[in-house]
Amino acid sequence: MPRPRSLSPAQLAAAALAVLDREGLEGLSMRTVAKELGMGTMSLYRYVTDRGQLEELVVDSVLSHTELELPPADPFTRLRILAERVYEAVRAHPSVVPLLLIHRHRSIVSRQWGEIALGVLDEAGFTGKNRAIAFRAYLSHVLGALQTGYYSPLDGAGTAALSGQDQFPMLAETAKAAREVRAEEEFREGLELLLRGFKDATRGP
């Protein structure tokens, strides 16, 4: 009888990610990942305890494609680069987006990214409570852009419905303009507004 093969966390994550990319979040299960690996479902339990642990592996795998080495530049340029790298890594696998908020705290890459971002904020002049607030605002923009792009894209049905109603004219006018905004533009222009606010905050009165 052949000895059962041994699988690495990277192989498990790759199989789960393949299922996610092909079938979406609703298609991810222990059974579908086991099938992707060419094994029985029960055999998969030798490596992970449940689907939640598979999700953690996927989040860490996707975030691992984020380059953490930053070029010499001013703090705000480096913050822009860090944010864009995470955004692009995750957008390559849209079905991973709902898993980010659930599992990012367990991801070593997410922690490394956060440590670097906090260091850059410190260099920019944010300390103590102000650094915590700035980091949360920064994180909220990155994760929020991914979440709203996934659940409520500007070119989606929600924006179309708002642009077609006349009860709230400002909403209608803004929704019509928003339908012309690409997801990348929404993310980058919003990021620029945030970083501009950071710059103003560090200049003092």
Q: Is residue 98 pLDDT above 90, yes or no?
A: yes
pLDDT digits (tens, 9 = 90+) for 35-47: 999 999 999 999 9
Residues 110 and 139 in one domain: yes
Q: Is residue 92 part of a domain?
A: yes
CA–CA gap between residue 169 and residue 33 (Å, rounded): 48
Residue 3 or 149, more confident: 149
Number of domains in the chain: 2
pLDDT at 5: 63
Residues 32 and 115 in one domain: no
Q: Is residue 3 part of a domain?
A: no
Domain that holds residue 93: 63-203
CATH number at residue 44: 1.10.10.60
Mean pLDDT of the chain: 92
Residues 113 and 143 in one domain: yes
What secondary structure, in 3-state letters, does 67-128 show?
A: CCCCCCCCHHHHHHHHHHHHHHHHHCCHHHHHHHHHHHHHCHHHHHHHHHHHHHHHHHCCCH
Q: Is residue 6 pLDDT above 90, yes or no?
A: no
